[in-house]
Structure formats: structure tokens, C-alpha cells
Amino acid sequence: MSSDPTVDHAVLTQILTQLQSLQVSQQALQAKLDSLSSVTSRSASSGVASPAQSASVPLPVTASADATASPSASAANVLGSIQASTELPDKIISDREREKLLYPGRVMLTTYPDQHGVKPHALKWGASDPTERGPVICSRLPSSFKHRNAIGAHSGSYSIYRALAIAMGTLVPTHKPDYSRTEPPVPIPPQPSWFDPSKIVSFDPWGHLVPQVFTREMTEQGLDVRPSIAITKAHMKLSEIDEAARRGDVVVDGKIVMKSVPLLNADGTVNPADPGVEIAISKAAIEPVWFLPGVAERFGISENLLRRALFEDTGGMYPELITRPDIKVFLPPIGGMTVYIFGPAAYMYDESKELTLRVHDECNGSDVFGSDICTCKPYLTFAIEECVHTAQRGGVGVVVYFRKEGRALGEVTKYLVYNLRKRGGDSADKYFRATELIAGVKDMRFQALMPDVLHWLGIRKIDNMVSMSDMKYNAIVQSGIPILKRYDLPEHLIPMDSRVEIDAKIAAGYFTSGKQITEADLVKTVGRTWEETEH
């Protein structure tokens, strides 16, 4: 690079001239495409294929932003009147024609700051007033495309199913949800922590109030703004709780715990068997919405490094992580969490009330299907009992269920580790090493973001925490929420084959209220072999 400022200026001038020329060419091309798109929509409505519909030349790819890069309303309306071709004996229109109706403009790879026509809706993370904070907008529909202030898509990993539904023709992309009568039956009001941009960085604290606080943006401005949190009420029924009630460990009080309706026989008559019990709960489903500067700070890395890692290791799925440093919000394609509340929700932010907490990371094999190689389901059901007891004492219980399957390594990796353990001699001294050999790390849950949900709920202190995880304990305490007591799973509830896991964790320094285990003891703890289960 020359150090002569005159030369540098000349080079810069030449580059700017070329960019301006390219922009003019792109605008001219776009005008032609807009005209073709208009013809395409009219022809499709009349049942006549236009030359543009039958063209086999791919649409040009560009990095510029235009509303035509998203589905037009007219094209969507046409598609909405056409059934999915897979449901018909003969296709009404070809997939190529449907693609042009859905996406009549150029393929838009990315946008850039200060680009012509691009004006993100103002969003101030941590603002105390929702109007000042602004809605999260990631939609690519024409009404919202140029106002997007977030990267990604709503519904996390389920956004892929939405894309599939649109491609198949079963969903019109411009469908406008009717949010009337969907407001939370249980209030989670604003808390001081909502207004601290460092306290909640992994989801939108206003997510459950979107239809109420962003009505003007949705109705008057026509912006596609969607809730990222939903709250409802339900009854929980688990066979383990039924059994606990029969033993007398859970008491029917008619308010928190109720008797289930009688069972029926196959002929419709009433079965005299004990029907068990049900637990009245409130619950909230939360989708991830990351405020990138806050997430980066929480992990002690730069925002640029975070953006680059997210871009590279998702196969380049989101170029705007790199090209749009002005957009600070990202909706990652991952699972969120569910909060289960036992007792009055208002007690969560009343420090005079007792509060019991369990932070549980998903384990489908154990939680749902009862695998005994780990203690996940016993921990979960024991914590639910403890939450019920607390609610019946006049307090409140909270279980937060995170979608972090297999320590956030995924179920495929987890099962590969199981195979390695069982073939290599499943002893506690090899427990963590088996995971590291497959995944490269022993745990990718990284609990730094976990306390956000507790701050959203308004929790200021925890009386009882059911957990042996120091990572969870430290993350909560360091976020400013004291924990007065913590305790682990009682010995008699630990399945035999999961003893390997428990002993390995205790020896590694995990919290335990029971016996201490040394590294030398680990070789004595051995799990069941496959051969023992074959008959």
C-alpha cells in the first residue's frame, strides 16, 4: 500500500466511482425485475404463464437490499389460493413458478449499514419504557424488511419448519397472526432488572407483552412484530407424583395439588383404581433473543469475535452478523426454555416468601423415556415435589427447563459417548474423559446466560436450590442473587446405573451433602454392561 496520500485518494475515488456505477446498474436491473414480477403476478392470477415464469435462467444474486427480495403481498395472495402441489394429482403451477411467486426479486445475501432505503427501527436495549426500547423486528416481509433491527428468525430451530411450510404452500408467508385473547393469564410485570442492559441479554424481557405494548407499530406502521414469550396455565400430571401422593409424600390440598378425575375402562365404565393427582401450575415458554454486546461481555470476549464465531460455525448462515455491526440483536436457531411456577407467581418477587428453585437442562432419554444411565428424571421429579411442598407452605416453587440436550452437545453426541463408555468399561474414573474424546469438551452448557430468566421473573433471593452443579450455583450468585441453601438428590433416589455419573461428579468437586469420594474410589464404581441387559 502506498504511503502517498495523493495516490491513496485517487484509489479511493476510483473505488467510489465504481461502486456508484454498480449501484446505478443494480437499480436499473431491479426496475426490470420489478416489472417482470408484476407481470408474473398478474399472469398467475389469470392462469396464464408469463415468459418470466418459464425462464430457466436463475435470478441474479446481489448483496443489496430491496423489498422485492422478500415475498410481495400480491404473490403471497396468489399462492394462498393455490393448494400445495403435493396434495394434487397434477401440479397447478411448477415449483419454479411458485418460487418466482414467493420470491420475485433478486437473491439477497446481506445488507449493509446506511444502505439506500435501509432504516432499522430504533431499539435501545434496557430502556425502561417499551416505546423507547422499541420492538424486535427480524421479518423479511415487505412491510418490515427495511426496518429490521434484528438478525435471524423467530421460533429458534422451528423457523426451519416454517420455511418448509411456505415452500410446500401450506402457509402463506404474509399470514397475520391474531393475538387477541392471547394475553398472559398470569402477570409477569416489569422488574428493575429489565432496565439494566447487563442483567438480561439472552431473551427479550418484553417478549410476552408484544401485542399490548407494540400495538401502534403493528397496526399503524404495519410492522411484523411477534411475541417471543408466551405465558399460560395448566395442570401437570406425572406418574412419579401420583406415586408420591400414594406414599403420602405429596398431600392433596385442593389448590396446589388436586385429585385427578376417575379413570375409565375400555367399555366406558368408571375404573375404581386410584386416578392419582394433578398439580396446578403456571408456565412460560421463552425463545432466545440475544443482545450481542451483552452476550459477548457475559462470556468475556469481544463482540466481533462472537459474531465471527457465530457466522463461521453455522456454515455462514447469517452474513449480517459480519456485514451489519449496527444491528445488535440476533435470534439464534436454538431451543429456548420453559418456566414452571408452583404457587402464586407474584411471590417470586416478594422477598418475604420462601422460594425453591431447580434449573434443569433437558435430557430427553431420561426425562421422557426413563433411561436410568443418568439422574436427570429423578432430579426433576424430586425438585417438583420440593416446589410443591414450598408452595403448600405459603411460598413458591420454580423449575426452569432449558433446551440443552446432552450438556448442549446434542443427543447424537450423547449416544456416541454412551457407546464408548459401555464398550470401554463404564467406570466413574473414565466418565468425563469419554465425553472429551468425542466432543472435545466435557460440557458446553456455559451457564453464564442462565440467570437471565431469574432476573426476568423478579427473583431476588433463593431459599432452596436443588442442584449439585457449581457452575449453576456460581452463575446465579455472581449475577447478584443469593442462595441460602442448596441440596442434591437423596441417595435412595439415585438409579444404580447412574452411580457412575454421580460419583464422577462428586470426585470432580461437584456439591454433595452426602459422602465424599476421592479419585482413587472411582475405579470401584462401575456401570451396567450391555450384556447384563440381554436375555
CA–CA dist 232, 318 (Å, integer): 33
Neighbours of 270 (CB within 10 A): 11
Is residue 125 a contact partner of residue 291, using CB atoms and an 8 Å limit?
yes
- Which helix (H) or strand (E) covers residue 399, if one does? strand 396-402
Is residue 243 a contact partner of residue 381, using CB atoms and an 8 Å limit?
no
Torsion (CA) 61, 66, 67, 71 in degrees, nearest 10:
0
Is 443 known to be catalytic? yes
Residues 6+ apart with CB under 8 A from 151: 138, 318, 320, 321, 324, 327, 329, 330, 331
Is residue 101 a contact partner of residue 41, using CB atoms and an 8 Å limit?
yes
Residues 6+ apart with CB under 8 A from 330: 150, 151, 152, 289, 290, 292, 310, 318, 321
Q: Look at strands 396-402 and 229-236 and give their pairing.
A: unpaired
Provide the β-strand partners of residue 61: 107
CA–CA dist 508, 471 (Å, integer): 12
Neighbours of 159 (CB within 10 A): 16
Residues 6+ apart with CB under 8 A from 135: 121, 123, 210, 214, 217, 218, 223, 225
Is residue 200 a contact partner of residue 191, using CB atoms and an 8 Å limit?
no
Strands (E), 27-164: 61-62, 107-108, 150-152
Query: Which among 289, 378, 300 is positioned nearest to 328, based on CA atoms?
Result: 289
- Which helix (H) or strand (E) covers residue 400, if one does? strand 396-402
**Per-residue DSSP letters for 199-237?**
T--SS-TTTTSHHHHTHHHHHTS------SEEEEEEEE-
Q: Which residue has the cell 468425563?
A: 432
CA–CA dist 513, 204 (Å, integer): 37
CA–CA dist 389, 342 (Å, integer): 9
Q: Pick the catalytic residue from 140, 162, 403, 445.
A: 445
Q: Pick the catalytic residue from 367, 443, 452, 503.
A: 443
Q: Which residue has the cell 404473490?
A: 75
| C-alpha cell recorded at residue 162 | 416454517
* Phi, psi of 41, deg, nearest 5: -65, -45
Give the DSSP letter of residue 147. G
CA–CA dist 466, 482 (Å, integer): 14
As annotated, the active-site residues are 443, 445
